[in-house]
């Protein structure tokens, strides 16, 4: 079981790295387009590509935030409670997040199926719109896994493991 958990943790981390690379690609394309416009050679379809990379990057990084607890939260009330109650509340919040993400995945998949059926395409390059939905669906599904991994105390990094990494 430990190997499965380690493999899932590695998958979430690898996908986050891919998400950051997508952000970098969006930035590089934007810079290339700006420079290209000055020289009379703009990047064709830059808007479609940047939108795809930014959307993909966001949804691919989100599971890592759920796994590590790096997302934005307000801990003022929770941190003032006894330790045992804090653990229970974090567990309940994690399970609620998993349920919400499950509903999001269900409804997003229905919309994805409509996009496939209608065959919509982006305006500049004609990229099938369902390509924009693939990282979203994968990211939401992997966010459920990341949230579950974040609930496992053995996988939450401690100060000593962060320094060793």
Average pLDDT over residues 143-153: 92
| Cβ-proximal residues to 83 (8 Å cutoff; 6+ apart), any chain | none
Q: Which residues of 37-68 are buried (b: 16+ CB within 10 A; e: fewer)?
A: eeeeeebebbebbbebbbbbbebbbbbbbbbb
Distance from the Cα of residue 78 to its chain's centroid: 25
Average pLDDT over residues 10-31: 98
pTM of the model: 0.84
Contact 46, 123 (CB under 8 A): no
pLDDT above 80 (res 156)? no
Q: Which residues pair with 121 in a beta bridge?
A: 128
| Cβ-proximal residues to 132 (8 Å cutoff; 6+ apart), any chain | 51, 52, 55, 56, 122
Segments making up each domain of the chain, as ranges: 2-164
What's the burial of 123, exposed, middle or buried (CB within 10 Å: 0-12/13-18/19+)? Answer: exposed
Task: Give per-residue pLDDT as tens, 37-79.
Answer: 999 999 999 999 999 999 999 999 999 999 998 877 667 777 7
Give residue 94's pLDDT band: very low, low, confident or very high (50, 70, 90).
very high
Tokens describing residue 137:
């669906």
């Amino acid at each position: 079981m430990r190997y499965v958990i380690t493999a899932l943790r590695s998958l979430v981390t690898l996908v986050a790295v891919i998400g950051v690379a997508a952000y970098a690609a969006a930035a590089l394309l934007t810079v290339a387009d700006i420079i290209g416009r000055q020289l009379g050679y703009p990047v064709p379809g830059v808007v479609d590509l940047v939108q795809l990379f930014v959307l993909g990057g966001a949804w691919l990084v989100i599971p890592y935030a759920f796994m590590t607890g790096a997302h934005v939260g307000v801990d003022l009330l929770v941190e003032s409670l006894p330790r045992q109650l804090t653990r229970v509340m974090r567990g309940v919040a994690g399970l609620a997040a998993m349920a919400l993400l499950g509903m999001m995945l269900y409804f997003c998949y229905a919309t994805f199926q409509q996009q496939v059926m209608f065959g919509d395409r982006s305006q500049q390059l004609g990229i099938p719109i369902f390509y924009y939905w693939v990282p979203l669906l994968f990211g939401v599904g992997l966010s459920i896994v990341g949230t579950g991994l974040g609930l496992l105390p053995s996988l939450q990094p401690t100060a000593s493991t962060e320094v060793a990494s």
